C-alpha cells in the first residue's frame, strides 16, 4: 500500500541480526527487506506505533502472514513489540514500534544522524507507557481503516487514501504559517482520491475525554 507519509524484542545470538560496530557500516539488513517492509519502517518512523491488525490491513494478505513476518522483523531488531495488560486479565493486541536497528536504517536512508541507543530506548519506553497511546492508536486506526477500503475495492493505485500525515507533520507544516492566535493542531491530515475527485481533510480524534463544546470550538480555527 503506497501512502505518502513524508515489552519484548529480545535478540539472541542466533537471530541472524548483523552486529554493528562503530566505524564499520553494515547496510546488509536493508537489502534483506522487502519493499513493503521498508514502507512499514517508514510508516512507523512517522506514526510511531501500529497494531498487528493495522499492519496487516496496510501491507499483508492476512493477519497470520503479518504475524509471521513481524516476528522475523523483531528478531532482526527492526521492530520493538509490546502489549498492554487489560483490566480483568489478558493483554491487548501486540503493538509494534520502530526498533533501534530499524531506526538506524531509516536515518541512513534519509541521510540523518542515527539516534543514540540509550536515548532511543528511553523514547520507546515513553511511547509504551504514554497516557496518549490509545489516542494515537485510534488516529492511526482511522487511517488504516480508510486504507482497507482501498484494498476491498481492489482500486486503482492512484485511488483511495493517497496521503497521510501525522500530528507532528501537521504541526510542523501549519502552525508556523498562521499569524493569528488560533492555530491548527489536527491529529492528522489525509487525502482521498476517487474517480477524479480529491478530498483533503483534517482529523480531530476524540476518545470521549473532551466535552462536545470543546470539540466543536476547534472547528472555528479551520
In the chain, the number of structural domains is: 2
Both 46 and 123 in one domain: the answer is: yes
Q: How confident is the model at residue 219 (pLDDT cuts 50, 70, 90)?
A: confident
Both 184 and 163 in one domain: the answer is: yes
**Is there a contact between 212 and 174 (Cβ–Cβ < 8 Å)?**
no
* Cα 122 from Cα 128, distance rounded (Å): 10
For the chain, what is the mean pLDDT? 85
Using the 3D structure, point to which of 130, 159, 192 is the last residue of a domain: 130
Using the 3D structure, point to which of 113, 130, 147 is the last residue of a domain: 130
DSSP H helices in 32-116: 35-47, 52-59, 63-75, 100-109
**Confidence at residue 7, expressed as pLDDT on a 0 to 100 scale:** 36
Both 176 and 105 in one domain: the answer is: no
Q: Domain for residue 104, yes or no?
A: yes
Both 217 and 162 in one domain: the answer is: yes
CATH of the domain at 73: 1.10.10.10
**Is there a contact between 58 and 1 (Cβ–Cβ < 8 Å)?**
yes
Both 118 and 208 in one domain: the answer is: no
Comparing C-alpha atoms, which of 95, 45, 48 is closest to residue 74? 95
Give the cell for residue 52: 498487528
Q: Domain for residue 185, yes or no?
A: yes
Q: Given a cut of 70, is residue 6 above it in pLDDT?
A: no
Both 139 and 101 in one domain: the answer is: no
**Is there a contact between 138 and 146 (Cβ–Cβ < 8 Å)?**
no
Q: Domain for residue 124, yes or no?
A: yes
Q: Domain for residue 11, yes or no?
A: no
How confident is the model over 85-132, as pLDDT tens digits?
888 888 899 999 999 999 999 999 999 999 999 999 999 999 999 999
How confident is the model over 155-173, as pLDDT tens digits?
566 678 999 999 999 888 8
Q: Domain for residue 140, yes or no?
A: yes
Q: Domain for residue 12, yes or no?
A: no
Q: Domain for residue 153, yes or no?
A: yes
Both 93 and 146 in one domain: the answer is: no
**Is there a contact between 41 and 107 (Cβ–Cβ < 8 Å)?**
no
**Chain centroid to CA 4: how far?**
12
DSSP label at residue 152: H
Using the 3D structure, point to which of 77, 99, 130 is the last residue of a domain: 130
Both 126 and 139 in one domain: the answer is: no
Both 144 and 119 in one domain: the answer is: no
| Residue ranges making up the domain that contains 188 | 134-221
Query: If you search the block for the grid coordinates 482501498, which residue do you land on?
Result: 150
Comparing C-alpha atoms, which of 48, 60, 107, 105 is closest to residue 78? 105
Q: How confident is the model at residue 31 (pLDDT cuts 50, 70, 90)?
A: confident
Give the cell for residue 130: 504514554
Q: Domain for residue 19, yes or no?
A: no
Both 209 and 160 in one domain: the answer is: yes
Both 114 and 179 in one domain: the answer is: no
Both 35 and 124 in one domain: the answer is: yes
* Cα 9 from Cα 118, distance rounded (Å): 16
How confident is the model over 188-212, as pLDDT tens digits?
999 999 888 999 999 999 888 888 8
Amino acid at each position: 500500500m503506497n501512502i505518502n507519509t513524508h515489552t519484548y524484542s529480545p535478540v539472541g545470538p542466533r537471530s541472524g541480526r548483523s552486529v554493528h560496530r562503530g566505524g564499520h557500516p553494515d547496510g546488509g539488513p536493508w537489502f534483506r527487506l522487502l519493499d513493503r517492509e521498508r514502507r512499514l519502517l517508514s510508516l512507523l518512523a512517522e506514526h510511531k506505533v501500529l497494531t498487528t491488525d493495522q499492519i496487516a490491513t496496510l501491507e499483508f494478505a492476512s493477519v497470520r502472514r503479518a504475524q509471521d513476518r513481524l516476528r522475523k522483523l523483531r528478531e532482526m531488531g527492526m521492530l520493538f513489540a509490546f502489549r498492554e495488560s487489560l483490566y480483568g486479565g489478558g493483554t491487548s493486541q501486540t503493538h509494534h514500534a520502530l526498533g533501534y536497528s530499524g531506526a538506524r536504517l531509516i536515518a541512513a536512508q534519509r541521510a540523518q544522524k542515527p539516534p543514540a541507543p540509550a536515548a532511543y530506548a528511553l523514547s520507546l519506553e515513553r511511547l509504551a507507557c504514554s497516557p496518549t497511546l490509545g489516542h494515537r492508536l485510534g488516529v492511526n486506526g482511522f487511517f488504516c481503516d480508510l486504507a482497507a477500503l482501498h484494498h476491498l475495492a481492489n482500486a486503482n493505485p492512484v485511488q483511495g487514501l493517497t496521503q497521510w500525515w501525522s500530528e507532528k507533520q501537521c504541526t510542523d507544516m501549519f502552525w508556523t504559517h498562521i499569524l493569528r492566535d488560533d492555530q491548527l493542531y489536527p491529529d492528522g491530515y489525509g487525502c482521498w482520491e476517487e474517480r477524479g475527485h480529491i478530498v483533503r481533510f483534517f482529523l480531530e480524534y476524540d476518545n470521549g475525554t473532551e466535552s462536545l463544546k470543546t470539540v466543536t470550538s476547534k472547528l472555528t480555527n479551520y
